[in-house]
Amino acid sequence: MLKLKNINTYYGQVHALKTVSMHLNKGEIVTLIGANGAGKTTILNTISGITPPRDGEILFEGEGIVKLPPDRIVRRGVSQVPEGRQVFKPLSVEDNLELGAYLRYRSREGRGEIRKDLEKVYELFPRLLERRKQMAGTLSGGEQQMLAIGRALMAKPRLLLLDEPSMGLAPLVVQEIFRVLEMLRHEHGTTILLVEQNAKAALKLADRGYVLETGKVILEEVASELLENKEVQRAYLGRDKKEIWER
Amino acid sequence: MAEGRMRGSAAPNNLYFPLTLTLSLREREFSRQYHLKRELLKFAIFTILVLLLPLAAKEGYILNVLVFVGIHSILAIALNLLLGYAGQISLGHAGFFGLGAYISGVLTATHGQNPWLAMCYAAGAVGILAFVIGFPILKLKGHYLAMATLGLGIIIYILFNETVDLTGGPSGLSGIPNLTLGTLTFDNDLKNYYLVWTFTLVAILLAVNLANSRIGRALRAIHDSETAARLMGINARFLKVQVFALSALLCSVAGSLYAHVMTFVAPASFGFNFSVELVTMVIIGGLGSIYGSVLGAAILTLLPELLRAFQDYDIIIYGLILILMTMFLPGGLVSMAPVFMSLLRGRRKQPGGAHAEA
Ligand SMILES: Nc1ncnc2c1ncn2[C@@H]1O[C@H](COP(=O)(O)OP(=O)(O)OP(=O)(O)O)[C@@H](O)[C@H]1O
Ligand SMILES: [Mg+2]
């Protein structure tokens, strides 16, 4: 479905991704874990065309997308929920959602389809329906995250990229969001790449995981094995050395 | 509506949910039609007002000022599309206005071209010029964009002054013919009033349509966060350039009208001061409000007439107004509308959000 081959991304002189290779199979949920500044956001932005790589190859459904601008990549079926939500604050909830379907308005598919998807998003997050005329900036953090996800879904993505959707949210809301991701994969076969600080929850949900350190992939494993991996436990799952030694 | 249900988890409650959903969707459909009707009503009322105003303004002098209110309204609306919707500043819009005026002037006065055709040539040329310049210039943001457009405006202004053979230089270009329509010549204030305001009304209709469309929504998204907008599949760079070109084109049309109404143009009308004046009009009226721009244009056109004594210091007054507005009324005068309306109804309500409707 998605394949990154030897990707190198730079911010000016900063070498943010160092020969990164990874892949996602269709219908898979893959999580990307790593410390602050490891390059997780950069990977997502590289895939969606916001920060194109200097060299390397990205194949989406078998076709190269490295040289394409973000709008072309969205058109092919890749949607990103950006870090820190980035909902359009002065616009209403509904305007935000309709912006998610921006490219679909020009395609041949009727507005009826878009409206149906709008209903589906409201069904998924009823809170958004209640607040649909409210300015997005006045929503709570959790509601904004739901809106950011709903907005990405309005593009009908086959590949969904999520950048720390659980940031700053209450455990119950995180559960709710993860439940939606699970359902998306189940009912629509959506492939999901999930960046998470909450590594434990993410690994429980995911099939596989990649561990990123200072711009390099240092580990790639089935999620359940990563959960058991001592290094990962120490570094990302918040268990201290003592606890591991005692076992 | 179903307040209690929402307080708990976000999971749909199967008992109530389908009902609430269909109700709300019907309501939404209704509110969209309602919105459209309200926009049409607003436009209709405004049109009638415009048509009847000359009856009240019996004095030719007032009518003359109103002609310029119309021209300035087109300019303010054009700039508002760029500044208020897409969030991109331009301090060089007087230049596009001047280009329209001079191209029309030179083509008709010097080369005897048909004025309507000249207007179209000018609009096309200025639109294309802005489109080409737009690509590099709109990569800049904030202060840098302000500086670059400022520079552009100054270059155009200097060109008007220096190409004496073509433009007549600082002493201006005279002998520009009035516009004609069949046997009708637009040669007095009343005729010019209806001529100019027809264009203004068309500009309003165009701008309101654009603002309420999917493109208008995309522009506001770019305004808020360009990266997020690009992630929605909006080709932000191209869209910004397109709006810039459209905005310049409208300014050019206003410039052509100005040339034919005045029958004389001089560089002084198209300098940096006037660019600042345009920005002031948009901000006074309210960023992102089309009718607000008309209001802003009216105020800034009438104000100098009222404050004749300050003539040479007008730029200082605009500066002061700008500072006061951004400090105390960042939403512009139209953001006062809800307060005003509720006062009229005898009820006190909180003023709505800063983002006024078009
Ligand atoms: N616009 C930029 N200009 C320069 N350097 C940048 C830029 N954006 C990111 N970087 C650098 O690239 C590296 C990777 O950043 P990135 O945002 O991808 O990290 P991350 O893994 O998402 O971190 P976090 O968990 O804190 O979100 C960091 O060292 C960061 O300083
Ligand atoms: Mg990040």
Q: How confident is the model at residue B31 (pLDDT cuts 50, 70, 90)?
A: low
Q: Does domain A1-77+161-247 have CATH number 3.40.50.300?
A: yes
User: What are the sequence ranges of the domains in chain A?
Assistant: 1-77+161-247, 87-156
Contact (CB<8Å) B21/A119 = yes
Instruction: Give domain status of residue B344, yes or no.
Output: no
Pocket test for ligand 1, best of A9, A10, A41 (most atoms within 8 A of CB): A41
Reference B259, options B34, B108, B131, B104; nearest CA is: B104
Confidence check: pLDDT of B193 > 60: yes
> Which residues of B fall within a CB distance of 8 Å from A87?
228
> What confidence score (pLDDT) does residue B310 get?
66
Distance in angstroms (rounded) separating the CA atoms of residues A188 and A30: 16
Q: How confident is the model at residue B30 (pLDDT cuts 50, 70, 90)?
A: low
CA A137 to chain centre: 21
Instruction: Give domain status of residue B293, yes or no.
Output: no
Distance of residue B34 Cα from the nearest chain A Cα, in angstroms: 14
Instruction: Give domain status of residue B136, yes or no.
Output: yes
> Which residues of B fall within a CB distance of 8 Å from A75?
233
User: Quick one: average pLDDT of B90-97?
Assistant: 97
Interface of A with B in 70-109 (CB under 8 A): 70-71, 74-75, 79-80, 82, 86-91, 94-95, 98-100, 102-103, 105
Range of the domain at B100: 34-277
Least confident of B26-40, B67-81, B85-99, B218-232: B26-40
> What confidence score (pLDDT) does residue B323 get?
83
- Reported ipTM: the value is 0.91
Number of domains in chain B: 1
Q: Which residue stretches of chain A have pLDDT < 70?
A: 238-247
Confidence check: pLDDT of B18 > 60: no
Instruction: Give domain status of residue B262, yes or no.
Output: yes
Instruction: Give domain status of residue B295, yes or no.
Output: no
Q: Which strand (E) or helix (H) includes residue A173?
A: helix A171-188
Distance in angstroms (rounded) separating the CA atoms of residues B87 and A90: 13
> Which residues of B fall within a CB distance of 8 Å from A119?
21, 25
Measured CB to CB, residues of chain B less than 8 Å from chain A are 1-2, 5-6, 9-13, 17, 20-21, 24-25, 28, 31, 214, 217-218, 220-221, 223-225, 227-235, 353-355
User: Quick one: average pLDDT of B296-309?
Assistant: 82
Average pLDDT for chain B:
86
Confidence check: pLDDT of B55 > 50: yes
